[in-house]
Copies of this chain bind each other. A is one copy, B any other.
Amino acid sequence: MITGLSAFPLTPIAGDGSVDEKAFIGLVERLVTAGVDWIAPLGSTGSYAYLRPDERARVTRLAVEHAAGIPVMVGIGATRTREVLKLAEDAQTAGASALLLAPVSYQPLTADDVFGLYEDVTREVSVPVVVYDNPGTTHFVFTDELYQAVGRLPRIASIKIPGAASARVGELRELLPAHVTLGVSGDAFGAAGLIAGCDGWYTAVGGTLPTPALTITRAVQAGDHATALTESDRLKPLWDLFARHGGSIRVLATIAEHLALVTAPCLPTPLRGLTDAARTEVIEILERLNLAK
């Protein structure tokens, strides 16, 4: 069962365009020290869509080697089924304990296309697969019928649902076999999603700042909803920054750079870091929230 806190680290890019392996290992070790439940490299935050297959295999190997036994879940998304199958094989060879698959699109996908993708992939793999529903990057919207159909495929172990969908966790659970867990994403919805009954939190903020994300997760797991909501409310300035910058990746890159976990700029171009004014604001908020450590 895939439950608890799955933390998505950045994949820092060095000045020459290669993966900054030393910094990446540092990010993984930070998650080990904090005690997350899953380490999830090569999610959206881990820039999987910007890396070559050989780089993705190497990042997976590094994560597994430095995870100290914490299971590693790896993003295998690509526009084409052929490439997804190859990435799945590479990830399994590198020691991944689970695979995360989003319906990455260029031409708009139909529900039949997406079902076929999950059918083709789950037929070939031997480890659990997490369905990655992220319309902000894939531009694909799952229907309940598709959740249900995909949820019945072998090896489907969990669905990473968008934040807003966590309000419907009860309804969604009715559609799925009992062994398929539901995990909330969209960091602003983490506490609410867990309290609403999600089994886990797929968290980008937790990949760079694991401590507050673990505070929220462990509080809900202990039945202490008040502490979880208080911590999530305290972090609201961070959620607001994510919303204002079209997602969390640019803000988290700035935070990782400020904490000297990575070297600036750490995002793959054409993605640019934040402007100087936005960076100043991020750092001010970070310090005000006592997260600058």
Residues of A participating in the B interface, judged by any CB pair closer than 8 Å: 17, 44, 49-52, 79-83, 103-104, 106-110, 112-114, 116-117, 120, 136-137, 139, 246-247, 249, 268-272
Contacts and interface: CB of A to CB of B under 8 A. Distances in A.
A117 B270 contact: yes
Contacts of A117: 269-270
Contacts of A110: 246, 272
Contact of A249 (B52, B107, B249, B268): B107
A247 B108 contact: yes
B269 A120 contact: yes
B108 A136 contact: yes
Contacts of A136: 108
Interface of A (DSSP majority class):
loop
For the complex of A and B, 4 pairs with smallest distance between CB atoms: A49-B106, A117-B270, A81-B269, A50-B80
A229 B243 CA distance: 46
15 contacts: A49-B107, A50-B80, A51-B80, A82-B268, A82-B269, A103-B270, A107-B246, A107-B247, A107-B271, A108-B246, A112-B272, A116-B269, A116-B270, A117-B270, A139-B139
A106 B270 contact: no
Contact of A80 (B80, B246, B268): B268
Contact of A270 (B49, B51, B80, B247): B80
Copies in the complex: 2
Given A50-B106, A110-B272, A116-B269, 7 more contacts: A51-B80, A81-B268, A82-B269, A103-B270, A108-B136, A113-B269, A114-B270
Contacts of A270: 80-81, 103, 109, 113-114, 116-117, 120
A174 B258 CA distance: 43
A107 B138 CA distance: 9
Contacts of A272: 110, 112-113, 116
A245 to B, nearest CB: 9
A103 to B, nearest CB: 7
Given A112-B272, A113-B270, A269-B117, A137 B107 contact: yes
Contacts of A246: 107-108, 110
A106 B113 CA distance: 19
Contact of A113 (B81, B113, B120, B271): B271
A59 to B, nearest CB: 15
Contacts of A51: 80
A106 B269 contact: no
Contacts of A249: 107
Contacts of A81: 268-270
